[in-house]
Amino acid sequence: MPKSKERCQEIREEMREKILHESMLFFARNGFAGTKISDLSKYIGIGQGTIYAYFQSKEELFNEITKRINYEQDVKELKMLTMLPITAKHKIHKLTESIMKKLENDENYAAKVTLNTQMLFEEKEYASVDTTYRSDLYKYTAKIIKQGQKEGSVVLGNEIKLTDYYWSIVYLYSLKKLFTAQYESISIQDLERILLKDGIKNNA
């Protein structure tokens, strides 16, 4: 019995979603430059022609994926956190708790972190130490770190480098969640310890 027009459309949408989801994971592992459509099609288990039936090029596919990893809400939340009238120690705890919950419960968040970092690596404009931190996530994290250094709760050092170290650990564990069979996450306290002098023992 021939499929209805509606069912054919559903099948097309299902395949498109499959390509986007699997491609997001593949790009997260290999980066844009390291991804070939031939390798991607093997990873997904479909022919290259099927991918091209939905997306004209690797660039178009990647652009569609980046729309799905928009950090607008994450940046908005972090920006609001920097403005709260609380200590930097509290802010770092809230940020870290939020990140760890998302990593634990949302595979797409791990892919978002990984892809965002990959894009920073690959963009020429982010090549130098001075310009890497145009990312708003990095900018607001650095602002919290600087506040904490003034308050005496955050370790001393260049706030930009400390920001990089903090998000690099998040990136590492995002990769582990996505691509290792036995994923073991660090604790909130372990991640906080990167920045805080004495953890989160005292919330004052």
Query: What is the predicted pLDDT for the residue at 133?
Result: 45
Which CATH number covers residue 23? 1.10.10.60
Determine if residue 166 is left, alpha or beta; phi over 0 gives left, psi from -120 to 50 gives alpha, anything else beta.
alpha
Is the residue at 201 inside a domain? no
Give the domain extent around 166. Answer: 72-192
Is the residue at 203 inside a domain? no
Is the whole-model pTM more than 0.95? no
Last residue of a domain, one of 68, 83, 116: 68
Say whether both 23 and 121 belong to one domain. Answer: no
Residues 141, 166: contact at Cβ < 8 Å?
yes
Give DSSP secondary structure letters for 117-185: HHHHHH-GGG-STTTGGGSHHHHHHHHHHHHHHHHT-B--S-HHHHHHHHHHHHHHHHHHHHH-SS--P
Model confidence at 152, pLDDT cuts 50, 70, 90, reads: very high
Model confidence at 203, pLDDT cuts 50, 70, 90, reads: very low
User: What's the rounded mean pLDDT across residues 149-160?
Assistant: 92
| Total domain count, the chain | 2
Strand partners, 154: 196
Is the residue at 76 inside a domain? yes
Residues 69, 111: contact at Cβ < 8 Å?
yes
Query: What is the predicted pLDDT for the residue at 112?
Result: 79
172 vs 82 pLDDT, higher one: 82
